[in-house]
Structure 1
């Protein structure tokens, strides 16, 4: 058993949350019972994730996508109201880490992607960022664009969407998980052969062609299911508590 506030303090220090300007609050978003015996991890604090936490008698729901995003309406009504009501009624805490969990050099989503793809010599996609949320790495050997699409599909368990460019080989790869398709312009500035993110927009088709950077959309969910698992495992070791991951297989 661990104290809720001790868990939050440890996570905030490890992820350096105070050094990020984010779109939603990082850390404790909804406070439940003060002692934590079990944590359930999920990518997004959906109703299904909450119901899984209730069913498995978790004390804390740890996610990458929580609530209270900038631009959202203030009233707690409708779908979000139902979600929050479910958490409060069952005395379950909601803890969310967004950009800090993308950027962390060992626990983060991008760190996991670089390891899964066996990329080498990792560097920042944007050297001006204090904590880069995008990275660049190098394949051990060059691949054709078609080979790389199959490689991504196999390694990430998601049917990668390929938007083609003119380059015939891929060696230098930029990546940023989730909905960071517009960072393809940064990949072009760094003369990358390919850029990986989760989602894709209509405009990205033309940008890939005109910037001459192959773009691969590998799923918002599929590219961001690793950070919460890594953070959860770290918490299990640090506090000797039970941590489980709930996979919802979101196809987006």
Structure 2
């Protein structure tokens, strides 16, 4: 595989903010861990912003319609998600990183590198589409067993979704078997990228608490969190007494 064209993190590019991304197959628990991290950082009065994959208002409705009617080909799937990412990158991520925020991303370009390639798109082409994006300063990959991920998904809702199970690839007529095959292939792609992009691999079969302790320890060790603390304005009473003295 070709390396990512940018190959520089936001820190290396001189941004005052830092971007933390989480990746993992569906049901790995990455979103839960990121929301817990967000709450922990906010409790320390730090400037934090969370951005989720496929959440841009520009294309969200079109994506939902395409999925509902099962109209998305591998190429349109790739391009519509790239449009979503580019919109959020330009309007949210970069401005906030310039403003010194800790930006948390529930999935980043690596999701596209894994999903689109498994769906048959050329790796170099996919990476070229996202070549404008800098790399995260920290990337956590939550590695969960397929059966654990499947059980977590089904615990929250009655059935699997068409695309998360890879049914568009006709891997199996059984949706659960299709999920295992599709997500297994995604897992292989993620593991292949883990060294190249220096993922922090977390055993996602552990308890939520154990995983969160690992995440917080790495974030605390790698980042100076005091750099992202909100500026406290002086109390009004203190300012008034200064003027009168």
TM-score by length of 2: 0.29
Q: Which has the higher helix share?
A: 2
Larger RCO (alpha carbons 8 Å, 6+ apart): 2
